[in-house]
């Protein structure tokens, strides 16, 4: 998977693969790669000693590409089309004894960014789509139909875009003349709303495109459900490794590991002390692991990537308090259209 988009035509290099394999060593048994993509993590796990890897992805196109190289792995690599929020169901069918590890590499894959026809990239003109599963409402549906307030909420809460209201107002004004159909049309409106970036700053459309992609694919809902599913699927001693690409994702993963490792925040007059549950995880990484200089040179898209790892205990699986995970919530109803 990939982090923020850049103008570099970086190869499909798995982000933080070396530190991930070091943090989860020794690798053995059955692992699940919940964001299969180009298969980089799956191949890395198999090479490191995994007996079997279950590769899960909701994008059917990735499995077509995998046919070119998966042959030598035989039944050591099992591919499943679906969302990682249901990974415990796939694991129960394929590895009823439980998983030895789960890897989640969040965000959009570099393959998807490189395919203009998928509509994820603000650097390449294409249909305004952004659907990972290639089904359901697209980014164009949201941009052309959502109320101005809903658009502003999506841009602010999912993209941390400070100019969210200005951009939403400009989108609504522009679509009154002609509906948005391409990424280039949307980028042009956003660029008119924001100052030209200084050297080293990200493209003006970065945050807006991130926000729309998250909304289209329900990425935060999927993340919370996927972390809970991993807790249910992992056997005692199993390892959960999660790679994030922006602060909103990392905050959710950090708080999940804190809550499920029995480290609840101290109470205050605004938030009473919560009952401490038996720890379901033991954190391996106290602080997230980022890319080193070698990784940054090999893969510029890794610059914002962070890795967190935890080990499953023998405690029964529970359910995280989603309100405490810091999931971005939209004040306006996202289903409300004009």
> Tell me: the pLDDT tens digits for 290-327?
999 999 998 887 888 999 999 999 999 998 888 899 89
Helix-strand-coil percent breakdown of the chain, rounded to 5? 45, 15, 45
CB 63 within 8 A of CB 79: yes
Q: Identify the three-state secondary structure at position 40.
A: helix
40 is in an annotated binding site: yes
The residues near 293 (Cβ < 8 Å, ≥ 6 apart) are none
pLDDT value of position 130: 87
Instruction: Tell whether residue 125 is among the known ligand binding residues.
Output: no
Predicted confidence at residue 109, as pLDDT, reads 58
Q: Is 321 annotated as a binding residue?
A: no
Q: What angle do CA 61, 64, 67 make, to 5 degrees?
A: 150
pLDDT number for residue 333: 46
A 10 A CB-CB count for 63 gives 16
- Please answer whether residues 233 and 180 qualify as being in contact, where contact means their C-beta atoms are separated by less than 8 angstroms: no
**Would 17-110+220-325 and 116-217 be classified into the same CATH topology?**
no
Terminal Cα-to-Cα distance of the chain (whole angstroms): 35
pLDDT the model gives residue 9: 39
105 annotated ligand binder: yes
pLDDT of residue 330: 80
| pLDDT score of 317 | 95
pLDDT of residue 113: 54
Which parts of the chain have pLDDT scores under 70?
1-12, 107-120, 264-276, 332-338
Please calculate the CA angle 158-4-336 and round it to the nearest 5 degrees: 25
pLDDT tens-digit readout, 74-120: 999 999 999 999 999 999 999 999 999 999 999 665 555 555 556 56
Please give the pLDDT value at position 257: 96
Is residue 32 helix, strand or coil?
strand
DSSP 281: E
Q: What is the pLDDT of residue 10?
A: 40
Please give the CATH topology (third level) of the domain spanning 17-110+220-325: Rossmann fold (3.40.50)
- Domain locations in the chain as residue ranges: 17-110+220-325, 116-217
User: Is 39 known to sit in a ligand binding site?
Assistant: yes
Report domain 116-217's class.
mainly alpha
pLDDT value of residue 119: 56
The answer to whether the annotation marks 98 as part of a ligand binding site is no
Give burial (CB, 10 Å; 0-12/13-18/19+) of 324: middle
How many Cα atoms are found within 13 Å in the side-chain-facing hemisphere of 269? 0
Confidence (pLDDT) at 331: 73
> Would you say 167 and 180 are in contact if contact means Cβ atoms under 8 Å apart?
no
- The whole-number pLDDT of residue 272 equals 52
Give start and end residues of each alpha helix (H) in the chain.
17-24, 40-48, 60-66, 87-94, 110-114, 139-145, 148-159, 164-175, 183-193, 206-217, 219-233, 247-260, 293-298
């Amino acid at each position: 998977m990939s982090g923020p988009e850049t103008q570099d035509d970086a190869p499909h290099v798995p982000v933080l693969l070396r530190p991930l394999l070091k943090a989860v060593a020794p690798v053995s048994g059955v692992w699940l790669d919940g964001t299969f993509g180009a298969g980089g993590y799956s191949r890395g796990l198999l090479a490191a000693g995994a007996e079997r890897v279950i590769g899960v992805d909701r994008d059917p196109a990735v499995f077509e590409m995998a046919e070119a190289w998966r042959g030598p792995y035989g039944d050591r690599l099992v591919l499943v089309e679906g969302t990682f929020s249901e990974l415990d169901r796939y694991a129960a069918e394929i590895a009823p004894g439980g998983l030895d590890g789960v890897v989640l590499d969040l965000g959009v894959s570099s393959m998807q960014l490189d395919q203009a026809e998928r509509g994820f990239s603000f650097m390449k003109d294409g249909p305004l789509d952004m659907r990972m599963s290639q089904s359901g409402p697209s980014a164009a549906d949201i941009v052309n139909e959502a109320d101005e307030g809903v658009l502003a909420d999506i841009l602010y809460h999912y993209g941390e875009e400070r100019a969210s209201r200005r951009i939403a107002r400009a989108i609504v004004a522009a679509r009154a003349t002609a509906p948005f159909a391409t990424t280039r049309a949307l980028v042009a409106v956003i660029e008119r709303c924001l100052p030209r970036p200084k050297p080293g700053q990200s493209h003006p459309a970065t945050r807006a495109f991130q926000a729309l992609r998250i909304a289209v694919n329900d990425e935060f809902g999927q993340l919370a459900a996927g972390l809970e599913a991993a807790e249910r699927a992992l056997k005692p001693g199993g390892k959960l490794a999660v790679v994030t690409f922006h602060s909103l994702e990392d905050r959710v993963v950090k708080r999940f590991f804190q809550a499920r490792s029995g480290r609840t925040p101290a109470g205050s007059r605004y938030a009473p002390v919560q009952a401490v549950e038996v720890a379901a995880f033991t954190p391996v990484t106290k602080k997230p692991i980022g890319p080193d200089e070698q990784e940054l040179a090999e893969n510029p898209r890794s610059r914002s990537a962070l890795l967190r790892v935890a080990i499953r205990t023998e405690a029964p699986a529970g359910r995280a308090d989603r309100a405490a995970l810091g999931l971005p919530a939209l004040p306006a109803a996202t289903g409300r259209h004009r």
